[in-house]
């Protein structure tokens, strides 16, 4: 795997071989989905103890909802699977996502996080590009946001 420095002081492993990409992009979808659905409760001491972070970020009506954050995570995972995106759950409400092909320089990596919107009783989905072209990120992020049923 190749290491990519995206922010000062932090590094992230990027898949470089087709076998490594397969692990990110399609392997174990059913297992990942089961882990996400039951894992949101397992990551805290008791169900409901961990809550999404309260953040200020640019949001749109497509990415906000009064839906339970755990249900939002399940919906996000379902849409990512439908679009052949790989993802890894880093925290209870944070996913590291990948889409594309390293060989064609079309690999895009980004974070998706369910956050609480300050002063509103709504939750939102924050998208943050980690690597890849801005147009590639915009295309996949827009496609995912449009397909979310929040």
Predicted pLDDT at 46: 46
- Contacting residues for 75 by C-beta, under 8 A, at least 6 apart: 67, 148, 149, 150
Which stretch of 5-19, 118-132, 136-150 has the lowest confidence by average pLDDT?
A: 5-19
Tally of CB atoms within 10 A around 41: 14
DSSP class of residue 63 equals: G
Task: Tell me the pLDDT tens digit for each residue of 51-104.
Answer: 665 655 555 667 888 999 999 999 999 999 999 999 999 999 999 999 998 888
Q: What is the pTM of this model?
A: 0.64
State residue 113 phi and psi, 5-degree precision.
Answer: -135, 135
Instruction: Report how far residue 3's alpha carbon sits from residue 70's, in angstroms, rounded to the nearest whole number.
Output: 31
């Amino acid at each position: 795997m190749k290491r990519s420095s995206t922010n000062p002081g932090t590094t992230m492993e990027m898949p470089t071989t087709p076998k490594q990409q397969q692990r990110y992009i399609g392997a174990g979808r059913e297992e990942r989905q089961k882990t996400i659905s039951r894992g949101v409760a397992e990551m805290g001491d008791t169900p409901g103890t961990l809550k999404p972070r309260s953040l200020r970020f640019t949001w749109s009506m497509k990415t906000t909802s009064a839906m339970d954050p755990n249900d939002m995570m399940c919906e996000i995972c379902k849409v990512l699977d439908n679009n052949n995106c790989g993802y890894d759950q880093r925290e209870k409400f944070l996913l590291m996502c990948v889409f594309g092909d390293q060989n064609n320089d079309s690999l895009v990596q980004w974070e998706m996080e369910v956050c609480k919107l300050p002063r509103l009783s709504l939750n939102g989905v924050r998208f943050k590009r980690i690597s890849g072209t801005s147009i590639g990120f915009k295309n996949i992020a827009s496609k995912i946001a449009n397909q979310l049923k929040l």
